Amino acid sequence: MLSRLVLVSGHTLKNSGSFGACLVQASRSFHQSSQSLAPVPPLPEKGGKVRHGIFPEELFSLLYPKTGVTGPYMLGTGLLLYMLSKEIYVINHETFAAASIGAVVIYGIKKFGPSVATFVDKINEDKVAKAQEVKDQAMASLAQGIQDEKKEQWRVEGRHMLFDAKRNNVAMLLETNYRERLHMVTNEVKKRLDYQVELQNLHRRMEQEHMVNWVEQSVIKSITPQQEKESIAKCIADLKVLAKATQARATV
Amino acid sequence: MMVSFFDQFASPSYLGIPLIAIAIALPWVLYPTPSSRWINNRLITAQEWFINRSTNQLMMPLSVQGHKWALLLTSLMIFLITINMLGLLPYTFTPTTQLSLNMGFAVPLWLATVIIGMRNQPTVALGHLLPEGTPIPLIPVLIIIETISLFIRPLALGVRLTANLTAGHLLIQLIATAVFVLLPMMPTVAILTAAVLFLLTLLEVAVAMIQAYVFVLLLSLYLQENT
């Protein structure tokens, strides 16, 4: 019993006064729970189940073991009749006003309920869809980045082929250049040699002409006028004979 | 428990304890606080959508200075709509049927708009007293008339709301009484009257929402004139 007193007084002393504080420190346990408010527990998807719009399903399941299916309905009817018969609730004009507004409310809920629900659900779904789209786009762009990186790596592997081709190119260019220069050199040398050949030909031709001219000059100089007359007469006689011969041949 | 027609308009009290505070604070209970979640349930989403949409609509014609009134006007509209709609339920007391409450809303808010206008742009505010294009001989008379119309505004705001709601409630009571009395005597006439009652209730629902909206809209209009 005294121990109970100690426990109780200890508890009250904990919350009070000057040396209550150090008692609190002595008995408090540190860092035993995570003490975090996140993640917030999720809300239930749908509200509580109701029957006939206002009576929660728990009432029916509460009464079911004792009174079966008709229990709550009997309870409702009994309550209503009790209140009417004992004149706890008096039927007056407000009852009809209540019936009227009740009809309006029920009609409104039945008619516009589903469309309002889908409209509100759509608002929420649009929010989620927008965020999902951002996430999908980010994922798609990252996957695309991976693809591009892989392609770049493949391209790097084929780099040696590129270098071989380039090397071939350069070699071909060098070869072509070398052949061109060789060709040019050959042409130049041939030109010079041709020049020399032409020069020699020219020399020979000039010597020949000069010699021919000299011979002609000496012959012409050596022809005396007497010889000239004789040769001309001989030529004329030959021509006459030839003419006669051709005439004879022609008539035959 | 005999209810007379004017019991519904008496300020409610229970055993001498006035219940008017509870009656006025009741709408606050019915609107859940938006949580810090990203996706809420249907009720909070619908409430948020409605409040955002109506505030947007109200604040569109106002200048940036007028946007300071957003919280006040939106909460006023929600309050009035809720109280009006709750008043249509049977055996309820509608605070907005009391002239005191409505004048208590109308006069200070209207006076605030006038004082804002007079302080920030006195020329423009006084210029509203003379419509454009009035012939010169009519100017003195017109200024007097416009001043009277300016001072009638708070009265009109308050009385409009009170009268509409009181008249509507009274009509519902009367026609319901007619149905109640006629039912044992001439059931068919009673059924016809019940149909009238149904239509009247539909009208009253519309009136409840419209009157609240009109109240707030007119206040925003006065604000627009003066900012």
DSSP code per residue over B98-156: SHHHHHHHHHHHHHHHHHHHHHH-HHHHHHTTS-TT--GGGHHHHHHHHHHHHHHHHHH
Query: Which of A43, A88, A92, A93 to probe by mutation at the B interface, max B CB count within 10 Å?
Result: A93
| CA neighbor of B83 nearest in space, from B93, B91, B72, B73 | B93
E strand map for chain B:
13-14, 17-18
Encode pLDDT of A197-218 as tens digits: 999 999 999 999 999 999 999 9
Residue B177's closest chain A neighbor by CA? A93
Instruction: Determine, for residues A93 and B180 on separate chains, whether the beta-carbon distance falls below 8 Å.
Output: yes
- A28, pLDDT greater than 70: no
Phi, psi of A41 (to 5 degrees): -65, 145
| CA neighbor of A108 nearest in space, from B167, B221, B201, B59 | B201
Q: In angstroms, how far is CA B64 from the centroid of its own chain?
A: 25
Q: What is the mean pLDDT of residues A103-132?
A: 94
Question: Which chain A residues are Cβ-neighbours of B45 within 8 angstroms?
Answer: 120, 123-124
> Nearest C-alpha of chain B: how many angstroms from A49?
15
> Nearest C-alpha of chain A: how many angstroms from B178?
8
d(CA A45, CA B55): 29
Report yes or no: B79 and B209 within 8 Å, Cβ to Cβ. Answer: no
Of B42, B90, B200, the CB nearest to A98: B90
Q: What is the mean pLDDT of residues A180-202?
A: 96
Helices B139-185, A93-157: axis angle to 10 degrees equals 110
B40 touches A at CB < 8 Å: yes
* Range(s) of the domain holding residue B71: 1-226
Q: What is the mean pLDDT of residues A116-128?
A: 94
- B214, pLDDT greater than 70: yes
Report yes or no: B80 and B203 within 8 Å, Cβ to Cβ. Answer: no
Phi, psi of B37 (to 5 degrees): -80, 160
Confidence of residue A180 (pLDDT cuts 50, 70, 90): very high
Question: Which chain A residues are Cβ-neighbours of B179 within 8 angstroms?
Answer: 93, 96
Report yes or no: A100 and B195 within 8 Å, Cβ to Cβ. Answer: no
pLDDT of residue B34: 84
Confidence of residue A40 (pLDDT cuts 50, 70, 90): confident
Encode pLDDT of B134-188 as tens digits: 888 988 999 999 999 999 999 999 999 999 999 999 999 999 999 999 999 999 9
Amino acid at B82: T
- A34, pLDDT greater than 80: no
ipTM: 0.86
Q: What is the mean pLDDT of residues B89-112?
A: 93
Q: SS3 of A169, please?
A: helix
Report yes or no: B205 and A104 within 8 Å, Cβ to Cβ. Answer: yes
Report yes or no: B87 and B208 within 8 Å, Cβ to Cβ. Answer: yes
> Nearest C-alpha of chain B: how many angstroms from A75?
23
Question: Which chain B residues are Cβ-neighbours of A96 within 8 angstroms?
Answer: 176, 179-180, 194, 197
d(CA A198, CA A201): 5
Q: What is the mean pLDDT of residues A68-78?
A: 94
Size of interface A-B (CB pairs under 8 A): 71
pLDDT of residue B129: 85
Per the prediction, chain B carries an average pLDDT of 90
Tokens for A10, please give them. 């200890």
Name every residue in A having a CB less than 8 A away from some CB of B: 40, 43, 47, 90-98, 100-101, 103-104, 116-117, 120-121, 123-124, 127-128
Instruction: Determine, for residues A97 and B205 on separate chains, whether the beta-carbon distance falls below 8 Å.
Output: no
pLDDT of residue A188: 96
> Nearest C-alpha of chain A: how many angstroms from B162?
20
Instruction: Determine, for residues B42 and A117 on separate chains, whether the beta-carbon distance falls below 8 Å.
Output: yes
**∠A166-A171-A174 over CA atoms, to 5°?**
125
Give the burial string for B182-197 (b: 16+ CB within 10 Å, else e): bbeeeeeebeebbeeb
Q: What is the mean pLDDT of residues A156-160?
A: 87
| CA neighbor of B113 nearest in space, from B156, B153, B56, B59 | B153
- A236, pLDDT greater than 70: yes
d(CA B108, CA B106): 6
pLDDT of residue B134: 84
Tally of residues, chain B: 227
> Nearest C-alpha of chain B: how many angstroms from A15?
34
Amino acid at B76: L
Q: SS3 of A50, please?
A: strand
pTM for the structure as a whole: 0.69
Of A196 and B32, the one with more pLDDT: A196
Question: Which chain B residues are Cβ-neighbours of A121 within 8 angstroms?
Answer: 42
Q: In angstroms, how far is CA A11 from the centroid of its own chain?
A: 70
pLDDT of residue B9: 86
Number of H helices and E strands in chain B, helices first, is 7, 2
> How many structural domains does chain B have?
1
pLDDT of residue B1: 43
Encode pLDDT of B22-58 as tens digits: 999 988 999 988 888 888 888 899 999 999 999 999 9
- A8, pLDDT greater than 70: no
Of A97, A104, A120, the CB nearest to B202: A104
B92 touches A at CB < 8 Å: no
